[in-house]
Copies of this chain bind each other. A is one copy, B any other.
Amino acid sequence: MKNFLKISLLAISIMSSINFVQAQQLAIVEDFKPSSLNQPQQEYPMVNSQGYARFKIAAPTADSVRVSLGLGGRGGTKLAKAEDGTWMGTTEGHMDEGFHYYNVKIDGGKFNDPGTLNYYGSVRWESGIEIPAADQDFYALKNVPHGNVQQILFPSLSTGTSRRAFVYTPPGYEKGKGKYPVLYLQHGWGEDETAWMNQGRANLIMDNLIADGKIKPFIIVNTYGMTNEVKWGKMKEFKIDGFQTVLVDELIPFIDANFRTIAKKEQRAMAGLSMGGMETKTISLNKPDVFAYYGLLSGGTYASTDFKDKPQPKLIFLSCGSKERPDGIRKALEELKTAGFNAVSYISEGTAHEFQTWRRSLLAMAPLLFK
């Protein structure tokens, strides 16, 4: 239960992505459609063309139903009893484009909206909703050749178990003979190895980039980034050693032994979002001979001094949403470039510490890898 307080910190960063209608009250356009992440046959939640979300929850004898999305810091959207006995409500402001986690408070307990699919975030499977974005085409399921996403179970002596990873192999991998570079791509705190494919749609982003001829195909590997569980707010207690061993000494050799990879540093990248960026920074500096391309997505910055007595990476990619702290990224980029590093930054316009920022970051980073 202690977790609640910590998790609410994350919730705040999520809620801060709501744009409030302030001076001028916008009329809500009544063109609501089911969110694309709804469970089969479920009408609600709905989203309109302005980015408002509308919720409907059946709990006939409840005293209070509240959705965690919609009112920054003030407890979300309070639903009201509708004529048919269900609880309904619409967010007060429109929401940022892209994917949002949320949950439903019913009489003081935290549950999921039975209308939507669940996504692992905040150390729980949360409800998910998708606000259609102007640029949603780049992560849409299209009629192009599709790569596969494989669940693998790899032996981990250091943790005494088989651990799970997901491996994206590009279209044609199964029948081909070629060897591929590999991007090791990490999730954020409270998420797990399912995040990049489920919330991030990394496989579809890759399929579309490859179909458009914008990148040379590569493999993506996602695994769980913690071996000691650390609560939000206590990240300073997080020890990287356990995960570093799993990644560098167990997972990478397993991938190189079981997939057609080009098993050398120049064909290996590591990137991560939020906590995964912190991990990328630490491991890339601890193990400078393993990866040649580094990406921190809403996950901090490098300074040129980090590389004293260390080889320069082939690429440093830094990104975040415009609603985060883009100035930190811009400054770090300038410093790195001045010092002679191949550094590139990307700021996702109009998004916060959420998956739309990271989908776009992957889109921006992928063409720069393995050059």
Contact = CB atoms under 8 A, between A and B. Distances in A.
Contacts of A174: 258-259
B108 A111 contact: no
B62 A106 contact: yes
B148 A152 contact: yes
Contacts of A58: 1, 108-110
A25 interface: no
A88 to B, nearest CB: 13
A151 to B, nearest CB: 4
Contact of A150 (B62, B148, B154, B161): B148
Contacts of A117: 125
A58 B124 CA distance: 15
A323 to B, nearest CB: 29
Given A40-B229, A41-B3, A41-B229, A60 B153 contact: no
A19 interface: no
A41 B4 CA distance: 13
A106 B41 CA distance: 22
Contacts of A60: 107-109
A163 to B, nearest CB: 10
A31 interface: no
Interface string A198-233: 000001000000000000000000000000010000
Contacts of A64: 61
Contact of A39 (B125, B155, B258): B125
Contacts of A371: none
Interface in A119-160: 123-125, 141, 143, 146, 148-155
A271 to B, nearest CB: 22
Contact of A59 (B61, B106, B151): B106
A218 B251 CA distance: 25
A237 interface: no
A71 interface: no
A83 interface: no
B257 A175 contact: yes
A326 interface: no
A156 to B, nearest CB: 10
A6 B124 CA distance: 30
Nearest to A113: B111
Nearest to A175: B258
A309 interface: no
Interface of A: 1, 3, 39-41, 57-64, 104, 106-112, 114, 117-118, 123-125, 141, 143, 146, 148-155, 161-162, 167, 174-175, 197, 203, 229, 257-259
